[in-house]
Amino acid sequence: MSVKEMTAKEVAKKVINKEELFILDVRNESDFNDWKIEGQNIAILNTPYFDLLDGVEEIMDSIPTNTDVLVVCAKEGSSIFVAEMLSDAGLSASYLKGGMKAWSEYLEPVKIGDLTNGGEIYQFVRLGKGCLSYMIVSDGEAAVIDSTRNPAIYVEFASTIGAKITHVFDTHLHADHISGGRKIAEITNATYWLPPKDAEEVTFEYSPLEGGNVVTIGHTEIDILALYSPGHTIGSTSFVIDGKYLLSGDILFIDSIGRPDLAGLAEDWVGDLRETLYNRYRELSTDLIVLPAHFMIIEELNDDGSVAKQLGTLFAENHGLNIADEAEFRQMVTGNLPPQPNSYQEIRETNMGKITPDDDKQREMEIGPNRCAVR
C-alpha cells in the first residue's frame, strides 16, 4: 500500500471540523509532552522513532484500523519511514508533510464578520502555536494586527482579495513569537505602529501607537481611544474596531487572562493588569466581540474555527475577571504563572531589532506552545 502525505492545511481542516484522526507522534517523549497536535476528536499515541527502528509490531494493537492514521515527527523524514512500515503492515497511513515545523507555521484564515460601512475583518488562526492575528479590510485598504513571522501569508492574502496593506500594528512587544510586522511594512510601504512604552529599546523607526490615535482604513476607523491597556506589558494597547470588535492583544483571552511577568516585572505589572481588566474594560460595551491575540486550549475554537466571544459573556464566565479581592487576584496571577515561552528573551530582542537570527534559527526559537496566559 502506498504512503500518502497530509498537509498542515488538511490537518487544520480536520481539527476545525472535529473530524476523527489518529496520530502516531514519533518525536522524543520530552518534545511530545511540551507540545503536540490537539483536537476534540483526535487520539494520539507517542512512541519515539528510535523505539520503532526494528518494526511496528509492538504498537499495532494500539493503532485503530477504522480511521485515518497520521504519523508525525519534527521535520518529516522519520514519519515517512514509520508510515511506510505501517503501510506494509496493512494500515492506511499518512505522514505530515513538513512535520511539526510546518504545523507550527500554518495559518488558517477565518472571516469574522462584515464592517458597518463595507469591509471585512479576518482572523488568522495559527493552530500549532495558538497565535491569532488579524486583517481589517475596507475600500481596497488593509491593516494587519499582531502578525506572525511570515509576511508573505498576509501580503498574498491581501492581494487575493484586492486590498493593499497600508497599516501594520502590534498590540505590544511580543515575547512568544517573532512579529512579521516590520517586514510587512517594509514590503508594502505601510506604516508600522508600536506602543512607545514597549518600544524604548527598539532599533528601528516606527509610528507611536498611543491612546487617542484614530487610524482610518478605507471607510473604517480603528479607534484606540482610552484603550491603553497595560498589564501583559507596560505598553499593551487594545483596539475597538468599528464599534463591534475588541482586539484585546494578550490582556484578555477567552478562557484566561494575560500574564504580567515576561519582562520580569510581575509584581509591578499585576496592578496594571487588574486596572485594565476590572476598570478600563468594564467601561466598554458588553456587546463587543473579544478577539484575542492567542488561545490556550483547542476548546476555545468556535465551530467555524474562529476564536471569539462577547465581552459580556467573558465577564460572566472567565474566572480571571471575577476575583473581587485584589490580594486574591494578585496571588492568583503571580502564583499561577506557567514556564516562560521557549527562547522568549531572544524573541523579544529579535522583535526589538537588536538581533537578526536567520530563518532556521527563528523557526527553532518559536517551536513549542505559546505561554502568554495565567494558568
Any idea what the CATH number is for the domain that residue 55 is in?
3.40.250.10
The answer as to whether 62 is a domain residue is yes
Question: What whole-number distance in Å separates Cα of residue 196 and Cα of residue 206?
Answer: 9
Q: State the cell numbers at 368.
A: 513549542
Residues 59 and 193 in one domain: no
Residues 40 and 173 in one domain: no
Alpha-carbon dihedral angle through residues 319, 129, 246, 338, given to the nearest 10 degrees: 30
Any catalytic annotation for residue 372? no
Residues 221 and 97 in one domain: no
Q: Up-side HSE of residue 220: CA atoms within 13 Å toward CB?
A: 28
pLDDT tens for the chain, 375 residues: list them: 568 999 999 999 999 999 999 999 999 999 999 899 999 999 999 999 999 999 999 999 999 988 889 999 999 999 999 999 999 999 999 999 999 999 999 999 999 999 988 899 999 999 999 999 999 999 999 999 999 999 999 999 999 999 999 999 999 988 889 999 999 999 999 999 999 998 999 999 999 988 777 888 888 776 544 366 666 777 888 998 988 999 999 999 999 998 876 566 667 778 888 999 999 999 999 999 999 999 988 999 999 999 999 999 999 999 999 999 999 988 888 887 777 777 888 999 999 999 999 998 998 888 877 777 776
Cα separations (Å) of 158 from 135, 161, 218, 246, 361? 8, 5, 14, 22, 28
Catalytic residue among 12, 42, 71, 73: 73
Question: What whole-number distance in Å separates Cα of residue 123 and Cα of residue 290?
Answer: 12
In DSSP terms, 168 is beta-bridged to: 144, 192
Strand order of the sheet with strand 108-114?
A: 108-114, 120-126, 131-138, 141-145, 164-169, 191-194, 207-208
Residue that finishes a domain, picked among 87, 102, 117 = 102
Residues 120 and 224 in one domain: yes
Alpha-carbon dihedral angle through residues 205, 209, 210, 216, given to the nearest 10 degrees: 130
Question: What whole-number distance in Å separates Cα of residue 143 and Cα of residue 217?
Answer: 7
The answer as to whether 214 is a domain residue is yes
Residues 201 and 135 in one domain: yes
Residues 162 and 86 in one domain: no
Q: State the cell numbers at 110.
A: 477565518
* Amino acid in position 59: I
The answer as to whether 369 is a domain residue is no
Q: How many domains does the chain have?
A: 2
Residues 78 and 23 in one domain: yes
Residues 126 and 246 in one domain: yes
The answer as to whether 112 is a domain residue is yes
The answer as to whether 311 is a domain residue is yes
Residue that finishes a domain, picked among 84, 102, 120 = 102
pTM of the model: 0.93
pLDDT of residue 155: 98
Residues 196 and 282 in one domain: yes
The answer as to whether 349 is a domain residue is yes
The answer as to whether 365 is a domain residue is no
The answer as to whether 371 is a domain residue is no
Residue that finishes a domain, picked among 102, 126, 148 = 102
Residues 92 and 167 in one domain: no
pLDDT of residue 325: 94
The domain in which residue 343 lies consists of: 107-360
pLDDT of residue 270: 86
pLDDT of residue 221: 72
DSSP annotation string for 283-317: GS-TTPEEEESB-SSGGG--TTS---EEHHHHHHH
Contact 231, 277 (CB under 8 A): yes
Residues 346 and 215 in one domain: yes
Q: What is the CATH number of the domain that holds 138?
A: 3.60.15.10
Residues 320 and 190 in one domain: yes
Q: Cα 228–229–232 angle (5° rounding)?
A: 140
